[in-house]
């Protein structure tokens, strides 16, 4: 259901372009094969070079000496950036906006907590939550919106549980993550006419909420991530108030919509080819590879930007110091030079682990272990109990050029 051709720049900057992924991939595949990159000089945006090939996205991501993240690591109109600076709000300084030693030191505050062994200790709790949401699906009586009713609240519960945020505060957290990450999608914006104001108010609410949390975890430390952040130190000194706040924001926001879109999009892909659901049921061990394939296929983080630290060249284009490139993860993940039959969703593919959905290098996703566990635990709990599942209507895609995916997925099903 192609919606017609979109101008190359709009493919990456316009929220609406992401509402029809089949059309998006068709158009981008053509550009990737023919030219490998796209130089965009659209009105309202400082020029940027879009990297479409796996090799280029990989090389730039790995080289964090010559390619910097900076405070503008997400693409947005120049006027919006100027407005943010003029508003007096501090420019974003979460992990994905930091570089060099500051990034290394901040990442070290929580990185031990995200190591495989430490994440593994949380598996019993992830099992419990997956059980809870499979039961919820059963209670919904044979029809639901899998994205809204299951994927979204399940992934939110897991991340909030890790954090130590109580269940009753989840609606607030959902509102905040969508306020910050879903700023392009009309459904998430609600009545707000000004997406930037919505982001600003979400940040202010975060400040109040997490200041209270910090005070609590300093007084009564617990086995949760909030305790690690509240008591985090850089160079032997407690993190500053603003630094700590950015930390809370990145972990709370980065871990939710991303995983929810992967799970919902994975279900959509499985429903389009039910033989793969059968294959998963016949061989439960396939779930590990299937999860990587789901994350390759859905690629919910649509891009990050990198800025040249000095004059350089990439993908055959000269880039001046401070010039910028957009890393297109969804395109890199469909690169036919790396993935055989790359436009086919295939849970048995041998090359799924070369996915770039989590990035690579110094900024490699801290939560990748959690995301993988969440998805595979849910599928492993659900599929053996399902007798049948089919679409009950077309999927609907979120309109956001940063983090997006399937936001509504009507399904009809029968449990055994
Ligand atoms: C399928 C789900 C997810 C996807 C696709 C995803 C993707 C990404 C990507 C592309 C990056 C930037 C990598 C780079 O620049 O090289 C990133 C960074 C990050 N992610 Fe994830 N993520 C997911 C889930 C999670 C979860 C569950 C958490 C937390 C529990 C999380 C926490 C983070 C953090 C803290 C960073 C910043 C790391 C840094 O800059 O050093 N993510 N993620």
Q: Which of 254, 267, 360 to mutate to test the pocket of ligand 1 (most atoms within 8 A of CB)?
A: 254
How far the first Cα of the chain sits from its last, in Å, is 34
Q: What is the DSSP letter of 301?
A: B
CA distance 181 to 392: 28
Report residues whose beta carbon is within 6 angstroms of any ligand 1 atom: 61, 95-96, 107, 159, 250-251, 254-255, 258-259, 262, 295, 300-301, 304, 329, 357-361, 363-367, 370-371
Q: Which of 51, 293, 305, 358 to mutate to test the pocket of ligand 1 (most atoms within 8 A of CB)?
A: 358
- Predicted local confidence at residue 350, as pLDDT: 97
What interhelical angle do 257-272 and 170-181 show, nearest 10? 80
Tell me the pLDDT tens digit for each residue of 234-291: 999 999 888 898 898 888 888 889 999 999 999 999 999 999 999 999 999 999 999 9
Taking alpha carbons only, the member of 10, 64, 61 closest to residue 184 is 10
Can you name the CATH fold of 8-415?
Answer: Cytochrome p450 (1.10.630)
Across the range 280-304, mean pLDDT stands at 97
Per-residue confidence band for 207, with pLDDT thresholds at 50, 70 and 90: confident
Cβ contacts of residue 121 below 8 Å, gap of 6+? none
CA angle 264, 267, 271 (to 5 degrees): 140
**CA-to-CA separations, 181 to 14, 175, 177, 296, in angstroms, rounded:** 14, 10, 6, 20
- Predicted local confidence at residue 206, as pLDDT: 79
Per-residue confidence band for 184, with pLDDT thresholds at 50, 70 and 90: low
Q: Torsion over CA of 349, 350, 356 and 357, rounded to 10 degrees?
A: 40
> Domain spans of the chain?
8-415
Residue with tokens 């799924």: 352
From the number of C-beta atoms within 10 Å of its C-beta (0-12, 13-18, 19+), residue 308 rates as: buried
Which percentage of the chain shows pLDDT scores above 70? 93
Is 191 or 102 the better-scoring residue by pLDDT?
102
- Predicted local confidence at residue 252, as pLDDT: 82
Tokens of 214: 């910090």
Across the range 161-189, mean pLDDT stands at 74
Q: Which helix (H) or strand (E) holds 204?
A: helix 195-219
Q: Is the pLDDT of residue 2 over 60?
A: no
Is 404 or 190 the better-scoring residue by pLDDT?
404
**CA-to-CA separations, 271 to 250, 265, 390, 410, in angstroms, rounded:** 32, 10, 6, 11
Q: Which of ligand 1's atoms lies nearest the C-alpha of 251?
A: 35
Residue with tokens 């809370």: 248
Residue located nearest, by CA, to atom 3 of ligand 1: 258
Per-residue confidence band for 1, with pLDDT thresholds at 50, 70 and 90: very low
Which percentage of the chain shows pLDDT scores above 90? 79
Average pLDDT taken over every residue of the chain: 92
Ligand 1 centroid, distance to 368 Cα (angstroms): 7
Tell me the pLDDT tens digit for each residue of 109-130: 999 999 999 999 999 999 999 9
């Amino acid at each position: 259901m192609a919606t017609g051709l979109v101008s190359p720049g709009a493919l990456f900057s316009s929220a609406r372009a992401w509402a029809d992924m089949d059309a998006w991939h068709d158009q981008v595949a053509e550009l990737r094969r023919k030219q490998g990159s796209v130089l965009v000089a659209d009105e309202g945006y400082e020029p940027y070079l879009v990297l479409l090939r796996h090799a280029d996205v990989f090389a730039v991501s790995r080289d964090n000496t010559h390619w910097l993240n900076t405070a503008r690591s997400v693409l947005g109109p120049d006027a919006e950036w100027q407005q943010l600076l003029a508003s007096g709000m501090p420019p974003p300084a979460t992990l994905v906006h930091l570089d060099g030693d500051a990034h290394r030191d901040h990442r070290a505050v929580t990185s031990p907590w995200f190591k495989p062994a430490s994440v593994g200790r949380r598996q019993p709790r992830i099992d419990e939550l997956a059980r809870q949401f499979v039961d919820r699906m059963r209670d919904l009586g044979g029809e639901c919106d899998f994205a809204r009713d299951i994927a979204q609240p399940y992934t939110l519960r897991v991340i909030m549980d890790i954090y130590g945020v109580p269940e009753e505060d989840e609606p607030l957290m959902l509102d905040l993550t969508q306020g910050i990450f879903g700023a392009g999608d009309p459904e998430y914006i609600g009545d707000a006419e000004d997406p930037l104001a919505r982001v600003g108010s979400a940040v202010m609410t975060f400040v109040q909420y997490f200041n209270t949390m910090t005070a609590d975890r300093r007084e009564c430390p617990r086995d949760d991530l909030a305790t690690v952040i509240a008591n985090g130190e850089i160079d032997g000194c407690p993190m500053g108030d603003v630094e700590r706040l950015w930390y809370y924001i990145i972990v709370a926001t980065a871990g939710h919509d991303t995983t929810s879109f992967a799970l919902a999009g994975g279900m959509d892909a499985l429903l389009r080819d039910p033989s793969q659901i059968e294959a998963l049921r016949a061989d439960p061990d396939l779930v590990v590879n299937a999860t990587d394939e789901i994350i390759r296929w859905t690629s919910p983080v649509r891009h990050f930007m990198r800025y040249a630290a000095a004059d350089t060249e990439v993908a055959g284009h000269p880039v001046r110091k401070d010039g910028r490139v957009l890393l297109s993860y969804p395109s890199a993940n469909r690169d036919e030079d790396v993935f055989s039959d790359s436009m086919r969703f295939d849970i048995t593919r041998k090359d799924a682990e070369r996915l770039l959905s989590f990035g690579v290098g110094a900024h490699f996703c801290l939560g990748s272990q959690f995301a993988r566990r969440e998805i595979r635990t849910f599928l492993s709990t659900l599929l053996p109990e399902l007798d049948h599942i089919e679409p009950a209507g077309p999927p609907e895609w979120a309109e956001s050029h940063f983090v997006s995916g399937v936001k509504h997925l009507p399904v009809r099903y029968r449990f055994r």
